[in-house]
Structure 1
Amino acid sequence: MLDSTQEGPMGIGPYVAIVWRRKWLVVLTTVVAAVVAVLGSRLIPPSYTAMTTVRVAQVSSDAVTYTALSYNERIMNTLARLLTSREAMEAVAARFTPRLDAGELAQGVTVEVVPETELLEIAVEHADPHVAMAVANTLAAMMTERDHDVFYGPGGAVLDALRAELDLLGATLADDRTALVNLTRRAEAEETAEPALEVAIQELRWRIRYQEETYESLLGQLDRASLGQQLLATSISVIDPAVLPERSGRPSRMMSAALGMMLGLVGGVGLAFVRDRLDPRIRSARQIAELGDLDVLMAIPPFRLPRRDRKRLARLDHTNREAWEACRALGRMVFTRAQVRQERSVLIASADAGVGRSTIALNLAVSLAESGLSIIVVDGDVRRPGLHQAFDIPHSPGLTNVVLGECSLHDALAETTVQGLRVLTSGSIGPAFSQAMSAPRLGPVLRELEAMADLVLLDSPSILESADALEWAAVAHRLLFIVMEDQSLLNQVAEAIRRLGHVHCPTIGMVVNRAHRMVPLPPENPPFEAPTFEPRAHALQSAALTMAPRDTITWVGDWNA
Structure 2
Amino acid sequence: MELRTYLSILWRRRWIVLVTAVITTAIAAIFTFTTTPVYVSATTLRVATIGSGVIEYGRPDIGYTERLINTYAQIITSGSVRSDIMQQLNLSEPPVIKVELIPDTELIKVKAEATDPTTARQVADAAAFLLIEQSRQLYSGNGQTTQEILRQQIQQIEGELNTARQEYERLLIEDPDNSVAITAASQSIALKERTYATLLEQYENARVGEALRANTVSVVEPAYTPRQPARPRYDLNLAMGILGGLVGGIGLAFLFENLDTRLYTTQEIEETTRLSTLGKIPDAENGKLQIVHLGNGFQPHLEAFRRLRTNILSPDQQQSPYTLLVTSAERGEGKSTIVANLAVIIAQSGRRVAVVDCDMRLPTMHKIFDLPNDLGLTSALAEGVSLVDVIQETAFPRVAVIPSGPLPPNPTELLGSARMWELLAELKESYDVVLLDTPALLSVTDAAVLAPQVDHVILVVARTRSRREAVVAVRDQLLNVNVRSIGVVVNRAEQNGVRAY
Correspondence list, 1:369-388, <5 A: 377-381=355-359
Task: Supply the AA of the counterpart residue of 1:16.
Answer: L
Aligned length: 481
Q: Matched residues in 1 for 2:148 and 2:438: separation?
A: 115
How many Å apart are 1:349 and its aligned residue?
Answer: 0.7
1:94-116 CA distance string (max 9 Å, x none): 2255x6333xx3xx333334667
**Native 8 Å contact 1:50 1:245 kept in 2:** no
Secondary structure at 2:419's aligned position in 1? helix
Aligned to 1:160: 145
- 1:480 aligned to 2:465? no
Aligned to 2:328: 350
How many Å apart are 1:246 and its aligned residue?
Answer: 8.0
Q: Matched residues in 1 for 2:129 and 2:202: separation?
A: 37
Aligned to 1:553: none
Q: Matched residues in 1 for 2:102 and 2:263: separation?
A: 59
Distance 1:343 1:66, change over 3 A: farther
- 1:91 aligned to 2:84? yes
How many Å apart are 1:489 and its aligned residue?
Answer: 3.6
How many Å apart are 1:357 and its aligned residue?
Answer: 1.4
- 1:426 aligned to 2:402? yes
> How many percent identity over aligned positions?
25
Task: Supply the AA of the counterpart residue of 1:356.
Answer: G
Correspondence list, 1:200-215, <5 A: 214-215=198-199
Aligned to 2:39: 49
- 1:112 aligned to 2:100? yes
Secondary structure at 2:88's aligned position in 1? coil
Q: Matched residues in 2 for 1:75 and 1:192: separation?
A: 62
**Native 8 Å contact 1:461 1:469 kept in 2:** yes
Task: Supply the AA of the counterpart residue of 1:122.
Answer: K
Match of 1:295 among 269, 274, 285: 274
Task: Supply the AA of the counterpart residue of 2:248.
Answer: G
The unaligned stretches of length 5 or more in structure 1 are: 1-9, 519-561
**Native 8 Å contact 1:140 1:238 kept in 2:** no
Aligned to 2:221: 239
How many Å apart are 1:49 and its aligned residue?
Answer: 1.9
Q: Matched residues in 2 for 1:511 and 1:115: separation?
A: 74
Q: Matched residues in 2 for 1:286 and 1:69: separation?
A: 74
1:144-185 CA distance string (max 9 Å, x none): 4444224xxx69999933553475467558857976897799
Secondary structure at 2:253's aligned position in 1? helix
Aligned to 1:28: 19
Task: Supply the AA of the counterpart residue of 2:385.
Answer: E
How many Å apart are 1:350 and its aligned residue?
Answer: 0.9
Q: Matched residues in 1 for 2:62 and 2:308: separation?
A: 84
Secondary structure at 1:346's aligned position in 2? strand
Task: Supply the AA of the counterpart residue of 1:224.
Answer: V
How many Å apart are 1:91 and its aligned residue?
Answer: 1.4
1:40-84 CA distance string (max 9 Å, x none): 55554x3442524243252659xxx99687655555444343222
**Native 8 Å contact 1:300 1:512 kept in 2:** yes
Task: Supply the AA of the counterpart residue of 1:135.
Answer: V
Aligned to 2:418: 440
**Native 8 Å contact 2:325 2:437 kept in 1:** yes
Q: Matched residues in 1 for 2:352 and 2:275: separation?
A: 26
Task: Supply the AA of the counterpart residue of 2:46.
Answer: V
How many Å apart are 1:262 and its aligned residue?
Answer: 4.3
Task: Supply the AA of the counterpart residue of 1:427.
Answer: P
Match of 1:461 among 413, 434, 439: 439
1:504-553 CA distance string (max 9 Å, x none): 546624444224599xxxxxxxxxxxxxxxxxxxxxxxxxxxxxxxxxxx
How many Å apart are 1:131 and its aligned residue?
Answer: 4.6
**Native 8 Å contact 1:350 1:461 kept in 2:** yes
Q: Matched residues in 2 for 1:314 and 1:66: separation?
A: 101
Secondary structure at 2:109's aligned position in 1? strand
Task: Supply the AA of the counterpart residue of 2:216.
Answer: T
**Native 8 Å contact 1:315 1:363 kept in 2:** no
Task: Supply the AA of the counterpart residue of 1:140.
Answer: A
Task: Supply the AA of the counterpart residue of 2:127.
Answer: L
Aligned to 2:486: 508
